[in-house]
Copies of this chain bind each other. A is one copy, B any other.
Amino acid sequence: MRLSKRGEYALRSLINLGIATKVGRSLVRVTELAKAEDMPVKFLEQVMQQLREAGYVESERGKHGGYRLTKPATKITIGQVVRLIDGPLAPVGCVSQAAYEKCSCPDETHCGLRMLMLDVRNAIAAILDCYTLADVVEVTTRKMVTNGWPLPFSTPGNTPAAVQPGENSGRTRAALTSPSEGVIHQLLGDYAI
């Protein structure tokens, strides 16, 4: 049930790019992203290219180059990213929505294991397809701001105080099943449905 390092690095980088956007930094270098989360630079380069090809980020080359998000963080669900990097969320192919594949059991309609794994798949998807990058950025930054911590990637002109709150309101969350419990839901507070 593991998220790969590749997937983890991709999400960490997107989250940091989301934070950078929030504090007014347009471009972030790969070396900065790598340093912020202690990730191997050259490996992260590959991951960023994959994210670029998929349209989540865009790059500028040359001396003052770097990466930025191409779309608002509210439009990127975590599930999309995980599927891109790590493949289907489903534990077994025969319960995958996006990439179904027949399994070896004699009859799927009677397979108890399949039904159980379908529940697992739905539980995972309910969370990962529900929350967006903006939600995770919000959770990450809110606690830092209230603790008076400086946000990463903030330039001298963009102090934490300059961060405008509520940029996340007016959301429409595409919830499949509302994850009515869970730390993310609680931390999101009144922003959540």
> CB within 8 Å of B: which residues of A?
1-3, 8, 11-12, 15, 36-39, 78, 82, 86-92, 104-106, 109-113, 115-120, 122-124, 126-128, 131, 135-140, 143-144, 147, 149, 177, 179, 181-185, 187
Q: Name the residue of chain B whose CB is nearest to the CB of A136.
A: B112
Partner of A183, one of B88, B115, B126, B139: B115
Min CB gap A185→B, angstroms: 8
Asked whether B177 lies within 8 Å of A12 as measured between CB atoms, the reply is no
With A116-B78, A127-B116, A184-B116 known to touch, is A111 a contact of B91 (CB < 8 Å)? no
The 10 closest A-B pairs by CB, nearest first: A112-B140, A119-B182, A112-B136, A112-B139, A38-B104, A3-B91, A123-B123, A115-B183, A110-B143, A1-B89
Q: A3-B92, A149-B110 are in contact. Are A127 and B119 (CB under 8 A)?
A: yes
What are 7 pairs between A and B in contact, CB < 8 Å? A1-B90, A8-B113, A37-B105, A78-B116, A113-B140, A115-B184, A119-B184
User: Would B112 and A137 count as touching, CB distance under 8 A?
Assistant: yes
Contacts of A15 in B (CB 8 A): 112-113
Contacts of A143 in B (CB 8 A): 109-110
User: CA–CA, A144 to B110, complex, Å?
Assistant: 7
CB distance A139 to B120 under 8 Å?
no
Taking the closest CB of chain B, its distance from the CB of A132, in whole angstroms, is 11
Of the candidates A105, A119, A143, A177, the one having the most CB atoms from chain B within 10 angstroms of its own CB is: A119
A51 to B45, alpha carbons, bound, how many Å? 42
**Chain B contacts of A179 at CB under 8 A?**
119, 123
